[in-house]
């Protein structure tokens, strides 16, 4: 077996590169792009990017462009021309509304309408999948392979990158052990890791669920603030505990603890969203202003875990009709939807109302 990285392993490496602040080259043949994440950009790195032939642009999502009143000629994204007199702080502020006050935007923003944006789109998806703000500063190149070698940068072939980003990476069991809990003494915690070394997810099995009948199941998305700190801004903590208690009561069940913090945008971005919510935007608007969709979670993870643990049918504890639809689409039968309405208080009443009105939750 070769010790060389596979295309998928290169994508995993490229995510780390972007988080570190290193460039990534996307391209093959005579078409390529050198891209740096806006969030981790430094002044010296921006200067070095400017020294390359070509005109740098900052790619942002259509959602973020809308907030910045920039014309998105590429539809779901915009390539903002980088003015000659701005520094890395300007680029970061283009990505991060939290910096609006420190770095007021000098508009109007000029966006590119000529040329193709396919590689920029891939760079944005890669940044998002690294849980960075979806914004990159990039320069096109006609010699991607040679330039990547010069820069010591990871180079990704566009087709392989697109395929990898769309792929669900199978989750493999890593370890499991007995875990007596306050809610249920007969507990067992299983750890799963995707084959690309990505984020791990957990399954808590209560009792000995019968694999031939629909299991009482909960797909719980991680919420550090709600689950651990008892935040009153959402209903996650009470939902987590109510689900475990219901499974204990029933004698059996499975709770998947999916590390999709902040509906898939990560804790740092969720705190950026909270900061926008303090300015009066709701949970959906805040995600959009940051450049994200309302919900960036991949529910294939939950279906894969259930199947891997031998479950093919569930009694799903949720108020979210998308979860039911996604389970069915992924081949896990939802025999019953079990409502899980709990934990409303005066701090989250508006949040719960937005989930009902904008996200279709049955509350
Ligand atoms: N981006 C963002 N994520 C949030 C916010 N509040 C909670 N979350 C995250 O939302 C996820 C929970 O999703 P919910 O929409 O509450 O519930 P759900 O899992 O879709 O549906 P249920 O099964 O009915 O609970 C967790 O990952 C939380 O971290 C917020 O204001 N912004
Ligand atoms: Zn929460």
Query: For 89-102, what is each residue's pLDDT tens digit?
Result: 999 999 998 887 77
pLDDT in tens, 202-254: 999 999 999 999 999 999 999 999 999 999 999 999 999 999 999 999 999 99
106-109 long-range Cβ contacts below 8 angstroms, 24+ apart? 107/68, 107/69, 108/69, 108/70, 109/68, 109/69, 109/70, 109/80, 109/81
Sheet holding 215-221, edge to edge: 171-178, 187-194, 201-206, 253-258, 215-221, 313-317, 333-338
Q: Where in the chain is the domain with CATH 3.40.50.10990?
A: 171-260+297-359
Helix/strand/coil for 314:
strand
Stretch 47-54: mean pLDDT, rounded?
Answer: 97
Q: Where in the chain is the domain with CATH 3.90.870.10?
A: 7-166
Which one from 28, 294, 295, 298 is the annotated catalytic residue? 295
Distance of alpha carbon 319 from alpha carbon 331, whole angstroms: 20
The pTM of the full predicted model, rounded to 2 decimals, is: 0.95
- How confident is the model at residue 106, as a pLDDT? 66
Q: Round the CA-based radius of gyration of the chain to a whole number and report it.
A: 22
Distance of alpha carbon 85 from alpha carbon 154, whole angstroms: 29
- How confident is the model at residue 61, as a pLDDT? 98
Most confidently modeled range among 55-64, 107-116, 348-357:
55-64
- The protein residue with its alpha carbon nearest to ligand 1, atom 1, reads 262
Q: Is ligand 1 within 6 A of the CB of residue 323?
A: yes
Distance of alpha carbon 127 from alpha carbon 165, whole angstroms: 11
Is the per-residue pLDDT at 105 higher than 80? no
Helix/strand/coil for 25:
strand
7-166 belongs to CATH 3.40.640.10:
no
Active-site residue 297, yes or no? yes
Higher pLDDT among residues 90 and 343, named by residue: 90
Judged on CB neighbours under 10 Å (0-12, 13-18, 19+), 210 is exposed
Distance of alpha carbon 256 from alpha carbon 298, whole angstroms: 14
pLDDT in tens, 164-199: 999 999 999 999 999 999 999 999 999 999 999 999
> Which of 56-65, 103-112, 189-198 is the least confident region?
103-112
CA of 231, nearest ligand number: 2
Give me the architecture of the 171-260+297-359 domain, per CATH.
3-Layer(aba) Sandwich (3.40)
pLDDT in tens, 130-154: 999 999 999 999 999 999 999 999 9
Helix/strand/coil for 344:
coil
């Amino acid at each position: 077996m070769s010790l060389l990285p596979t295309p998928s392993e290169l994508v995993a490496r490229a995510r780390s590169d972007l988080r570190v602040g290193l460039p990534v080259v996307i391209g093959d043949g005579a078409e390529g792009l050198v891209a740096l994440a806006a969030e981790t950009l430094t002044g010296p790195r921006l200067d070095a990017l400017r020294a390359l032939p070509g005109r740098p642009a900052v790619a942002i999502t259509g959602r973020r462009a809308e907030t910045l009143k920039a014309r998105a000629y590429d539809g779901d994204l915009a390539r903002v021309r980088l003015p000659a007199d701005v520094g890395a702080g300007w680029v970061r502020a283009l990505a991060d509304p939290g910096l609006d006050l420190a770095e007021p935007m000098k508009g109007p923003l000029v966006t590119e309408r000529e040329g193709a944006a396919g590689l920029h789109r891939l760079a944005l998806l890669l940044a998002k999948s690294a849980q960075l703000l979806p914004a990159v500063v990039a320069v096109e190149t006609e010699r991607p392979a040679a330039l990547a070698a010069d820069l010591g940068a990871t180079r990704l072939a566009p087709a392989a990158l697109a395929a990898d980003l769309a792929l669900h990476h199978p989750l493999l069991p890593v370890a499991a052990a007995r875990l007596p809990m306050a809610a249920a003494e007969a507990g067992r915690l299983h750890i799963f890791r995707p084959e690309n070394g990505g984020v791990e997810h957990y399954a808590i099995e209560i009792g000995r669920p019968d694999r031939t009948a629909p299991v009482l199941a909960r797909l719980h998305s991680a919420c550090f603030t709600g689950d651990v700190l008892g935040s009153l801004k959402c209903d996650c903590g009470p939902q987590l505990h109510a689900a475990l208690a219901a499974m204990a009561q029933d004698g059996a069940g499975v709770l998947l603890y999916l590390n999709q913090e902040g509906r898939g945008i990560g804790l740092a971005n969720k705190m950026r969203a909270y900061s926008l919510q303090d300015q009066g935007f709701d949970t959906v608007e805040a995600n959009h202003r940051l450049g994200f969709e309302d919900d960036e979670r991949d529910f294939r993870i939950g279906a894969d875990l259930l199947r891997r643990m031998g479950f093919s049918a569930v009694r799903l504890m949720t108020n979210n009709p998308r979860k039911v639809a996604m389970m069915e689409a992924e081949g896990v039968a939802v025999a019953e939807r079990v409502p899980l309405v709990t934990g409303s208080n005066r701090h989250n009443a508006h949040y719960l109302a937005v989930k009902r009105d904008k996200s279709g939750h049955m509350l």
